[in-house]
Structure 1
Amino acid sequence: MTFPISRFSHSCRVALVAGGMLLATGSAMAAEGDRQAGASTTIAQERQNCMDGKTNQDRETCLREAGAAKQESQRGNLRDTGDYSSNASKRCATLPADQKADCERRSMGEGSVSGSVGSGGVVRELVTPVPAAK
């Protein structure tokens, strides 16, 4: 019994491509499952912190925020890129040029910090000596 070579190799190629696609899909699904499991753990911890009073919010507000975070996480909208310096400088982007540099310096930790989120706000202060006008 003989098999036409071209037909056999085409069938093998199709099978290999299909198998590769299944493997790639399975890997992507596993990675997504790991991401969702991590998010579920974080959300469960946030809810527990609300119940234990370990946040700076009343319980009702805290639980509402945790629920909103869960919804956004399920939509894939919560991402922590870890790029905090970029985020800090974006806060200063809309300021006038003469204020932008000082804002960026404060955002990067220069100066002093007082207050807290729990007390209503964090104040960042940077004193920059300016020569007297002549």
Structure 2
Amino acid sequence: MTGDFTMSARSPLLALAAAAMCFGAVAASPTPPADAKARYQQERANCESGNTNQDKATCLREAGAALNESRRGGLTSSSQLEANALARCKALPEADRADCQSRVNNDSNTTVKGSVQGGGVIKETTTRWVMTPEGEKRLP
């Protein structure tokens, strides 16, 4: 019986503590930069007008989530995404690294097929090699 009383007495205190922590987190969160607010307003307008490939409810939810993430400083720029992709190329053997970097940079010997909307993007890099008396040689 004592155990039941202790748990029931603790429950309101735990709920109060959790609420206080949530309030503190919201109060302490930084204000999103003006460009994030402007981007949110633009995304919201696109959702309202149907200029997206999502239903309205999903679109509005995603726009709000992006704004919240920008408040936390969690959104990354396209330059950061490209830097991350190039960093993954460094883990490959030297012989494969140049092709990886070509795919990331969409060089002239890389073709891109598909779309994110269609379910995926496939990047294909064609590398030509010729046999010379000295051995294999990669052509540009």
1:100 aligns to what? 97
Q: State the match for 1:75 in structure 2.
A: 72
* Contact 1:56/1:117, CA 8 A, preserved across alignment: no
Deviates more, 1:109-118 or 1:94-103: 94-103
Higher strand proportion, which one? 2
Deviation at 1:46, TM superposition (A): 1.1
Query: 1:50-105 CA deviation, whole Å, 9 max, x = no partner?
Result: 22232233333322221111111122223537456423313434445443321111
1:86 maps to 2:83: yes
- Which ranges in structure 2 are unaligned for 5 or more consecutive residues? 1-29
Residue 51 (structure 1) aligned with residue 75 (structure 2): no
Partner-residue secondary structure (3-state), 2:112:
strand
Aligned residues: 102
Task: Give TM-score, length-normalised by structure 2.
Answer: 0.56
Q: Following superposition of structure 1 onto structure 2, how do residues 19-34 of structure 1 map, counting pairs within 5 Å?
A: none
Of all paired residues, the percent bearing the same amino acid is 44
Cα 1:86–1:79 shift into 2, 3 Å: closer
Measure, in 1, the Cα distance between the counterparts of 2:71 and 2:65.
10
* Higher deviation after alignment, 53-62 or 89-98: 89-98
Residue in 2 that maps onto 1:120 = 119
Instruction: Tell me how large the CA RMSD over aligned residues is.
Output: 3.0
